[in-house]
A and B are shown apart, each in its own frame.
Chain A
Amino acid sequence: MQMATNNFTIKQLVELDACTRCGECTRWCQAFKESQDEYAAPDMRLREFRAMLKAGRGLPLLSRLFGGKMPSDEKLKEMAAGAYRCTLCAQCVAVCPSGIDLRALWLSLRQELVELGLNPRGLDLARDAIRTRQNVVNYPNEERAMWVDYMADAPLDAYQRERADVVYFVGCIASFSPAVQSIPEAFVQVLTMAGVDFTILGEKEQCCGFPLLAAGMRGEMDAAIEQNVAAVRETGAGVVAFTCPSCYNTWVNEYSPHLPGVELIHSTQLIERLLRQGRVGLRELGKRITYHDPCDLGRNSGVYEPPREVLKRIPAAEFVEIEYNREKGLCCGGGGDLEISDPSLAAAEATATLAAFEETGADVVVTACQQCKRSLQTARENRGSAIEVVDIVELVLRVARVQEEASDRDIVTVA
């Protein structure tokens, strides 16, 4: 079996040689810490796959001289499994003293492993589900907006309007998973309270493609991008809002060239703006709260302060930071398709992260991601922990009050 370099960029191949082998990435890697799988260790992964990429280039002796070495098929399978024991949380990127973009390297590596047929079987099933049913959970896509039907005061149009200023892109997990459907329910209520002219896309919404990207199947995303972009364009919206950080990150990186002039915004940024504009008021909470940085929102998108600004605005709520915050934020274990490829490792990471949050003494751990909420909530139930896990939009809805005097302002035109 031979690995090709065409899935890698020039910059990435230079990065393979720029590694000083300081092991800092591995020291911080939660997946390695919990799995103890040598091939999950980022430094080892980089070293072994670098050797594989260099193997077979030129004469065998010469390739060996440059560190090229082809593993046995058995070892290669173990290495491939290790490559998927990773949440793509990018902690390794944040701490790498050489500035190597390891997350991008892992994505290219997975792309190569898919071409070699070495990806976990579960990811093929996810890809098939997205191909045939346009969502990662393999439910009929017509049921995408069914969560609205369970809402007490949903409007007759079920939030699906032909034209709107803002499109709320819900995402697969929040649309279909009952454990976190409370998040879109809360967000649409907050938007309604703030007088935002918005719509959801209903069955026109398709999986954004993040699970494919994370699996190493970037080439499969094109159809979804085309459909979602067309659906947004039809509404004439100038803003697309997300409660899912992975959808947000994927749109920012993969969709934005197709939507010039359209603003992409995460719910935390939008709510912070609405609070700043006085379009939503907040009541007292009377609890000690802390914040969990979702990897795709924090490290991978650089959004750290808006959620904190929102939480600090809640009256009578004591905000405490966990030691591992912002760029050092802990991963919930739910990212990078790890839940599909190694659910027990994902659960172990979630448990360790929740335990760290318990030490803050907070009553509530607030996150801004449906997947983080799901992972931490499950860990909470398994541990019998007293700490409450909520998404930030749920907490905002809990303490929100309507501001009559400010409800006629236009979200799109006010920066």
Chain B
Amino acid sequence: MPQHLVAFIVLQIVVLAVFSIGMIGNAAFWLGGGIAPGRDASPWEKLRFLAASAARVFDRRALVEISLDWLLQRRLLRLSRLRWVMHLCFFWGFVILFFVGSVGLMLAERGLLSIAKDDPWFAFTNDFAGGMLIFAVGVAMYRRLVLKERQLRTGPGDIAIMVLLAGIVLSGYLLEATRLISREVPGEIGWYSFVGYPLSLALRRLSLDWWAVEGAIWWVHVVSGMAFVAYLPYSKLVHLIAGPLVIAGGTLSHGTLSRPDLPATKVAGNASETRPRRVVRRLTVRLRADFATVAAVLTARQRPGGSSIQARDDA
């Protein structure tokens, strides 16, 4: 096995371990809470609560709400279009690069997917997603360092994240450019890398050992990507994992994230409630009632000698 591959695998294992330790630490912190404010809960109660919450995710309407708030960042759109575009670029740029450009390629190298780096769609998608991230980093830096918007408190952690993201994308573009040079990829194929190819045209005038340069840049790209993953659980980047959980949790308990929870059957009708929302609320209430009925039946079945109501009456 080539030395660089051994080093890559070792690095992967280390990063995965650092990431896992971080996420286990975060999960332990999260599970330190109860299921209702100010009330302790046993591990068994917590487990049942989490299982019940997870089961509710498969409700179609909950999925729609979660998709709107998480995948399309609806709440941010209500605040600012620029920030919405910026964050969508961060989110989708990262998701595409991670799952297509990184995981997809790794699976292809193991023969599990049929992807080649010169596939037009692959080359285009990666360059496009990289562009989204660079745009997002640019806007974020502009807001933090030029506009200096007052509510943004910029610390070393924020700078580190932006540098890491920019490093991943820029090294990715350079890597693609050097790959196109070293492998002498013709223009009609190379142009689908609409950033990497022009960059390769500019660079190829330099007389360098492009195989060696490609190898060095590959390491820069890999290390910056790995550093991002390892840093995630220990920084504000953990919101990439905690954020969707909160959106799912909020949507499941409220029916929708945008209003506080109200026990709808017990309070007066609200004229401000829109029809779709009312339908969702009623359906949620009905589903909860159904769930409670099923749970009661199951509990009764487990008890020899009749239902829980009978048992209470007997007592």
A and B from one assembly?
yes
Chain B residues in 8 Å Cβ range of A19: 236, 239
Cross-chain contact B151 with A100 (CB below 8 angstroms): no
**Bound CA span A5–B33, Å:** 6
Give the contact stretch, choosing among A126-134, A303-311, A329-337, A362-370.
Answer: A303-311
**Bound CA span A51–B247, Å:** 22
Indicate if B298 sits at the interface (CB-CB under 8 A): no
Cross-chain contact A65 with B270 (CB below 8 angstroms): no
Q: Mark B186-200, 1 if CB is under 8 A from A, else 0.
A: 000000000000000
**Bound CA span A265–B83, Å:** 39
**Bound CA span A43–B246, Å:** 17
Cross-chain contact A10 with B30 (CB below 8 angstroms): yes
**Bound CA span A93–B257, Å:** 10
28 residue pairs from A and B, CB less than 8 Å apart: A7-B37, A10-B34, A10-B35, A11-B246, A12-B37, A13-B29, A14-B246, A15-B246, A17-B242, A18-B246, A22-B83, A23-B149, A24-B151, A54-B29, A93-B260, A97-B79, A98-B243, A98-B247, A111-B37, A257-B263, A263-B267, A265-B268, A301-B267, A302-B259, A302-B273, A305-B271, A305-B272, A326-B272
Cross-chain contact A264 with B79 (CB below 8 angstroms): no
Chain A residues in 8 Å Cβ range of B273: 302
Chain A residues in 8 Å Cβ range of B124: none
Chain A residues in 8 Å Cβ range of B33: 5-6, 8-13
Indicate if A66 sits at the interface (CB-CB under 8 A): yes
Chain A residues in 8 Å Cβ range of B38: 6-7, 108, 111, 218-219
Contact (A17, B266) CB under 8 Å given A99-B247, A302-B273: no
**Bound CA span A256–B264, Å:** 10
- 5 A-B pairs besides A21-B158, A259-B266 with CB distance below 8 A are A10-B46, A62-B25, A66-B29, A97-B73, A100-B246
Closest to A15 in B: B246
Contact (A306, B270) CB under 8 Å given A11-B33, A12-B33, A23-B152: yes
Chain B residues in 8 Å Cβ range of A65: 25, 234
Cross-chain contact A58 with B151 (CB below 8 angstroms): no
Cross-chain contact A260 with B266 (CB below 8 angstroms): yes
- Give which listed residue, B37, B233, B241, B260, contacts A302 with CB less than 8 A: B260
Indicate if A95 sits at the interface (CB-CB under 8 A): yes
Q: Mark A248-267, 1 if CB is under 8 A from B, else 0.
A: 00001000110111111110
Cross-chain contact A17 with B26 (CB below 8 angstroms): yes
CB distance from A16 to the nearest CB of B (A): 8
The tally of residues in B whose CB lies under 8 Å from a CB in A reads: 58
Chain A residues in 8 Å Cβ range of B50: 10
Chain A residues in 8 Å Cβ range of B119: none
**Bound CA span A108–B34, Å:** 11
Cross-chain contact A18 with B37 (CB below 8 angstroms): no
**Bound CA span A10–B252, Å:** 14
Indicate if B262 sits at the interface (CB-CB under 8 A): yes
Residues of A within 8 A of B (CB): 5-15, 17-24, 26-27, 43-44, 53-54, 57-58, 62, 65-67, 90, 93, 95-101, 103-104, 107-108, 111, 218-219, 252, 256-257, 259-266, 269-270, 272-273, 299-306, 309, 326, 415
Residues of B within 8 A of A (CB): 22, 25-26, 28-38, 40, 46, 49-50, 69, 73, 75-76, 79, 83, 87, 149-153, 158, 233-234, 236, 238-239, 241-243, 245-247, 249-250, 253, 257, 259-260, 262-263, 266-273
**Bound CA span A11–B251, Å:** 12
Contact (A9, B37) CB under 8 Å given A96-B75, A270-B268: yes
**Bound CA span A96–B30, Å:** 20
- Give which listed residue, B75, B150, B241, B242, contacts A15 with CB less than 8 A: B242
Contact (A97, B246) CB under 8 Å given A21-B236, A299-B260: no
Chain B residues in 8 Å Cβ range of A62: 25
CB distance from A327 to the nearest CB of B (A): 8
CB distance from A237 to the nearest CB of B (A): 14
Contact (A14, B245) CB under 8 Å given A9-B33, A66-B25: yes
CB distance from B189 to the nearest CB of A (A): 40
- Give which listed residue, B37, B238, B250, B253, contacts A108 with CB less than 8 A: B37
Chain B residues in 8 Å Cβ range of A18: 239, 242-243, 245-246
8 closest Cβ contacts across the A-B interface?
A23-B151, A265-B268, A305-B272, A18-B242, A305-B271, A17-B242, A5-B32, A304-B272
CB distance from B227 to the nearest CB of A (A): 15
CB distance from B201 to the nearest CB of A (A): 39
**Bound CA span A196–B75, Å:** 42
Chain A residues in 8 Å Cβ range of B263: 252, 256-257
Chain B residues in 8 Å Cβ range of A21: 152-153, 158, 236
Cross-chain contact B79 with A98 (CB below 8 angstroms): no
CB distance from A228 to the nearest CB of B (A): 15
Cross-chain contact B246 with A99 (CB below 8 angstroms): yes
**Bound CA span A256–B261, Å:** 13
Cross-chain contact A22 with B152 (CB below 8 angstroms): yes
Closest to A67 in B: B234
Cross-chain contact B249 with A266 (CB below 8 angstroms): no
Cross-chain contact A9 with B268 (CB below 8 angstroms): no
**Bound CA span A5–B32, Å:** 6
Cross-chain contact B75 with A57 (CB below 8 angstroms): no
**Bound CA span A356–B80, Å:** 23
Cross-chain contact A9 with B151 (CB below 8 angstroms): no
Closest to B70 in A: A99
Chain A residues in 8 Å Cβ range of B26: 17, 66
Contact (A9, B34) CB under 8 Å given A97-B79, A264-B267: yes
- Give which listed residue, A20, A93, A273, contacts B239 with CB less than 8 A: A20
**Bound CA span A67–B257, Å:** 28
CB distance from A157 to the nearest CB of B (A): 26
Closest to A276 in B: B271
**Bound CA span A8–B83, Å:** 31
Closest to B28 in A: A57
CB distance from A31 to the nearest CB of B (A): 14
Cross-chain contact A58 with B25 (CB below 8 angstroms): yes
- Give which listed residue, A66, A103, A326, contacts B234 with CB less than 8 A: A66
**Bound CA span A263–B50, Å:** 31
Contact (A17, B34) CB under 8 Å given A97-B76, A306-B270: no
Chain A residues in 8 Å Cβ range of B35: 9-10
